[in-house]
Amino acid sequence: MQTKAYAAQSPAMPFGPHSIDRREPGPKDVAIEILYCGVCHSDLHTARGEWAGTQYPCVPGHEIIGKVTKVGSGVTRFKPGQIVGVGCMVDSCRTCAQCHDGLEQYCDGPVGFTGTYNGPVGGGPNTYGGYSAAITVDEHFVLNISHAEKDLAAVAPLLCAGITTWSPLRHWGAGPGKKVGIVGIGGLGHMGVKLSHALGAHIVAFTTSAAKVADAKALGADEVVVSKDEAQMKKHLNSFDLILDTVSASHILDAFTALLKRDGALVLVGGAPTPHPSPSVHALVFKRRAIAGSLIGGIPETQEMLDFCAQHGITSDIEMIKMQDIEAVYARMLKNDVKYRFVIDMASLKS
Ligand code: NAP
Ligand code: ZN
Ligand code: ZN
């Protein structure tokens, strides 16, 4: 099926209209008309060739909300007309220990999980993501959406920004009695604040943008620290159980490890294209502190997060854009001018 899309043809070329081929649904497939797609900083890293391995043309987008148009004969969980979500993965080996545990993002299969975009497909071009009018996905990787229809655009960012913060918050036990820091108040960070607040932790938001202080409080932060201000940082030395760092660029980690208490963890989810300066080992060994990483989240925990958000009335704070605005939006993301997730109204692609 020929399908309208928006693609980058090289790291330096601006996005433009493009046509891609979507497969007819096989027995286990769900064909989806895309209504909304969130804009993740990973889209920018990938389209601009900031991470190794981008194949062009590149059609990013992995925060997809859409309507089922057709299902294969073996599909049991979805039917035409239903509203569904697709996140960062569209396939994995399904047989390894990680897949059995519902942590498909850590798949040990020959190619790991298949990303919704730029994911390897045997023999063909890499996968194309949600900056497009439609997508066909195996039902295992399709999520059920139970939010109200009026909220659907603001639900799209939960499919990456939501799950990427939910998974480590749950794994490291964010909840009542825990002091949790969220570094970088962009797409991921603002969801991290909302989710950790809903989980009952004491939240401190760290931002380099003084203009975001009031917003961060409104999002649910108990305290907000402008991280460039050393005096403000010092007040929090040795006090955090967990700090989740969502920053999209290289920065000094020691400023945050020093804030962890004994056995605390600094968990990195940001995908900075260049390395962070090497952290101080002394700061780690003297308090048994850890630096760890975390990748998106598995399909079962993504459904758990979506259901939790629907029950607690949680969505993303969004700014709706047209597909044609994507270059201007990337430029704003690079200036940290995000409040707090751009979402593409895919109707604009059809016009
Ligand atoms: P975003 O909306 O652009 O937000 C990033 C925020 O980081 C900015 O708003 C800014 O917050 C802060 N920041 C940016 N440059 C900085 C710098 N030089 N020093 C200090 N702070 C800086 O990006 P996003 O979509 O949330 O994505 C964040 C990162 O996570 C990206 O690298 C993305 O690729 C990665 N990611 C990883 C996963 C995963 O599975 N691990 C999943 C999705 C995305 P303030 O203005 O508050 O300082
Ligand atoms: Zn993402
Ligand atoms: Zn696997």
C-alpha dist (Å) from residue 121 to 3, 6, 251: 18, 20, 34
Confidence of residue 19 (pLDDT cuts 50, 70, 90): very high
Nearest-CA residue for ligand 1 atom 5 is 186
Tell me the pLDDT tens digit for each residue of 76-96: 999 999 999 999 999 999 999
Distance 332 CA to ligand 1 centre (A): 13
Q: Structure pTM?
A: 0.98
**In angstroms, how far is the first alpha carbon of the chain from the final one?**
19
Residues of 153-171 as b/e, b for ≥16 C-beta within 10 angstroms? bbbbbbbbbbbbbbbbbbe
pLDDT at 315: 98
* For the CA of 212, the nearest atom of ligand 1: 47
Mean per-residue pLDDT, 306-316: 98
Pocket of ligand 1 (CB under 6 A): 40-42, 45, 160-161, 164, 184-189, 207-209, 212, 246-249, 251, 269-271, 294-296, 333, 336, 338
Q: If pLDDT is split at 50, 70 and 90, which confidence band does 122 have?
A: confident
Residue minimizing CA distance to atom 44 of ligand 1: 42
Question: Of ligand 1's atoms, which has the minimum distance to the CA of residue 183?
Answer: 47
Task: Measure CA 92 to chain center.
Answer: 18
Q: pLDDT digit string (tens) for 37-74?
A: 999 999 999 999 999 999 999 999 999 999 999 999 99
Three-class DSSP category at 25: coil
pLDDT (mean) for 187-201: 98
pLDDT given at position 58: 98
In the prediction, which pLDDT does 123 show?
82
Nearest ligand 1 atom to alpha carbon 227 = 48
Contact 247, 269 (CB under 8 A): no
pLDDT of residue 124: 87
Provide CB contacts within 8 A for 25, sequence distance 6+: 31, 70, 71, 72, 75, 136
Confidence of residue 33 (pLDDT cuts 50, 70, 90): very high
Going by pLDDT thresholds of 50, 70 and 90, the confidence category of residue 104 is very high
Mean pLDDT, rounded, for 203-214: 97
pLDDT at 173 over 90: yes
| Per-residue confidence band for 309, with pLDDT thresholds at 50, 70 and 90 | very high
Return the SS3 of 13.
Answer: coil
Mean pLDDT, the chain, rounded, equals 97
Nearest to 296 by CA among 194, 135, 182, 166: 166
Q: For ligand 1, atom 34, name the residue with the nearest CA.
A: 42
pLDDT tops 90 at residue 351: no
Residue 284 half-sphere exposure toward CB, CA atoms < 13 A: 11
CA of 95 to the centre of ligand 3 (A): 5
**How many A from CA of 331 to the centre of ligand 2?**
17
